Amino acid sequence: MEALQTLTWSDTRYLAPELALAVAAVLLALLDLILPRRASRDLIGWGALVGLLAAGVFVGWHIYDLQSAVDAGKEPIRNLLGGSYRVDDFGNLLKLVFLGATALIVLASLGTVKKAEVPIKGEFYYLLLPAVIGAMVMASSGDLITLFVGMELLSITSYVLVGVRKRSGASGEAAFKYVVTGGTASAFILYGMSFLYGVTGSTRLSDISGALGDALADYRALVYVAFFFMIVGFALKLALAPFHAWAPDVYQGAPTPATSFLAIVAKGAAFAMLYRIFIFLYRAFGSEGDQAAVREDLFLALAVLAAAAMIVGVAGALKQQNAKRLLALSGVANAGILLVPLTLEVNSLHSSMFSEFVYYLIAYVFMNAGAFAVLTAVSRSSGHEELSAFAGMYHRAPWTAAAMTALLCSLAGLPVTGGFFGKLFILFGAVQTKAYWLAAILLATTVASYYVYFSFIRQMYMRSGESDQAVAVPVPTGIVIWLCAAASVALGILPKPILDWIDGIFSLGADFLAR
């Protein structure tokens, strides 16, 4: 009967963030039908921002509510619908990241996305909201079925966002490639989930972790098949090498705001799902015998993917001349870095893997959202997205060039920026767990990436542009650029308060391993 538990009216308050976005999406769709096309464009964008802000307030309320219950010695409500949906601080923290990133993307696009870029601008904005709902469901699900539903909601809306430029051949090609690779990834993940259900008899993650150790004795091969199918699917979703070939083409063909969404929110949601599933292996498998051997094999596979992504992403970006494709390959390398904390052993010396992941994810959001906002303004001014579009920015848009420099320093991991400390914390974690080979690859690829990001700086400060025309930066886009640049520097100056805040909220036992 617990598995058939229904949602009560009192439980709906725990779904307030998702419901707020759903209501906002419906209202904005109706508003788009009622108002004249010209009048509704910016209005719907601002309405989407209001919906995202409201959802963020509800998530903050949930964090406060959970913390208050723990401080009062009470057991907070963490499971809804028989455990298929979890209200915990793992999901809440990632929801704040997703909502904040989407708000930055929406704000940056206001005033810059014109008819040639996104011909159905109102629809573009309210399609982002169900996509974010899918990402939030992936962050909070405690059941394989709910995880898959959230993933497909995010995927289907993302397919539409990529192909929204109906008259653009590049956009259509990008959408086709994304649908094929996304569908293939979903098939691999679903097939792996079906094997996992077959050997454990449950789709609930907590039940799977309890039954997996016993099932290993009789179904060892099927357990390997289940997890390796899911690893391949996640590698496709995250564009981890060698499953990354689709990313440069899709990022280049999609509208820039949609590219930014794929690079940040869609990637973060896939990481949330990956962490949800694989952290349970720490409890499912013991530390000795065959169970430990299987766990080591699976996490070694993830570590190899992380290393390959860092190497291939940086190597592929070294001679790249298209800014979007360069940022796509940069995203491949950063996906490898974000995967490293999951592959490290959790022990008394290293128990902060989630803090390392979230801190670098926050830094990744700011430096990528800002970089794509600058690219949007520069490409509109020059008419193309090659690196040469940034030539002469030091006198065409000096303040924007300064902000872009700060963002590039964070992407490269130079002191004192959020990217530097994010990589440093992950590097320390690898050394503490004696994963020296991963630490060496992280350090080497970081040094090599300096050349990649210096190519932007070389264009901005050491090359003259084709014209002296100033780069027009709309006010909303400028706000996002400087907010992201300031946040990237602030994360580097004051990393400890952010880490202390994350550690004070998140608990591995309560937020991951509690039934």
Q: Is 383 left (phi over 0), alpha (psi -120 to 50) or beta?
A: left
pLDDT at site 217: 79
| pLDDT confidence band for 351 (50 / 70 / 90) | low
Of 329, 324, 417, nearest to 378 by C-alpha is 324
Residue 466 has pLDDT above 80, yes or no: no
| pLDDT confidence band for 494 (50 / 70 / 90) | confident
Cβ atoms within 10 Å, residue 218: 10
Take residue 246 and report the two structure tokens written for it. 């689709």
Residue 2 counted as domain residue: no
Mean pLDDT of 471-500: 90
The one-letter amino acid code at 221 reads: A
Take residue 470 and report the two structure tokens written for it. 């100033």
How far is it, in rounded angstroms, from Cα 174 to Cα 344?
Answer: 35
pTM, two decimals, is 0.93
Mean pLDDT of 425-431: 91
| pLDDT confidence band for 514 (50 / 70 / 90) | low
Q: Are 138 and 272 in contact (CB under 8 A)?
A: yes
Residue 318 counted as domain residue: yes
Mean pLDDT of 280-290: 69
| pLDDT confidence band for 131 (50 / 70 / 90) | very high
How far is it, in rounded angstroms, from Cα 45 to Cα 52?
Answer: 11
pLDDT at site 442: 95
Residue 406 has pLDDT above 50, yes or no: yes
How far is it, in rounded angstroms, from Cα 44 to Cα 24?
Answer: 10
Residue 263 counted as domain residue: yes
**3-class DSSP state of 85:** strand
Residue 4 counted as domain residue: no
Scored b (16 or more CB within 10 A) or e, 273-291 reads bbbbbbbbbbbbbeeeeeb
Residue 5 counted as domain residue: no
What is the rounded average pLDDT for all residues in the chain?
Answer: 86
Peptide bond before 416: cis, by omega within 30 degrees of 0? yes
Residue 109 has pLDDT above 80, yes or no: yes
pLDDT at site 3: 46
Query: Total domain count for the chain?
Result: 1
Mean pLDDT of 359-366: 95
Residue 141 counted as domain residue: yes
| pLDDT confidence band for 348 (50 / 70 / 90) | very low
DSSP code, position 8: P
Residue 112 counted as domain residue: yes
How far is it, in rounded angstroms, from Cα 215 to Cα 200?
Answer: 6
Peptide bond before 497: cis, by omega within 30 degrees of 0? no
Mean pLDDT of 472-493: 92
Residue 345 has pLDDT above 80, yes or no: no
Domain of residue 284 covers 11-513
pLDDT at site 4: 45
Mean pLDDT of 209-227: 85
Mean pLDDT of 15-35: 89
Q: How many secondary structure helices (H) and strands (E) does the chain include?
A: 21, 2
pLDDT at site 271: 94
pLDDT at site 483: 95
CA 223 to chain centre: 27
Q: Is 423 left (phi over 0), alpha (psi -120 to 50) or beta?
A: alpha
How far is it, in rounded angstroms, from Cα 510 to Cα 515?
Answer: 9
Which stretch of 45-54, 55-64, 343-352, 366-375 has the lowest confidence by average pLDDT?
Answer: 343-352
pLDDT at site 216: 81
Residue 67 has pLDDT above 50, yes or no: yes
Which tops the pLDDT comparison, 504 or 174?
A: 174
Of 396, 155, 107, 420, nearest to 267 by C-alpha is 155
User: Helices 495-505 and 353-382: crossing angle, nearest 10°?
Assistant: 130
Most confident of 65-74, 346-355, 447-456: 447-456
How far is it, in rounded angstroms, from Cα 12 to Cα 3?
Answer: 18
User: Helices 323-343 and 436-462: crossing angle, nearest 10°?
Assistant: 160
- In tens, the pLDDT along 161-187 reads 998 877 777 888 999 999 999 999 999
Mean pLDDT of 78-82: 73
Which stretch of 15-24, 109-118, 177-186 has the lowest confidence by average pLDDT?
Answer: 109-118
> Which residues neighbour 5 within 8 Å (Cβ) at sequence distance 6 or greater?
81, 82
Residue 273 has pLDDT above 60, yes or no: yes
Residue 3 counted as domain residue: no
Q: Are 416 and 493 in contact (CB under 8 A)?
A: yes
What are the angstrom distances between the C-alpha of 373 and each of 50, 118, 177, 340, 413? 20, 15, 24, 28, 20
Dihedral sign of CA atoms 33, 39, 40, 41 in order: positive
pLDDT at site 359: 93
Q: Are 471 and 378 in contact (CB under 8 A)?
A: yes
What share of the chain in percent tops pLDDT 90?
51
pLDDT at site 288: 66
Mean pLDDT of 287-302: 81
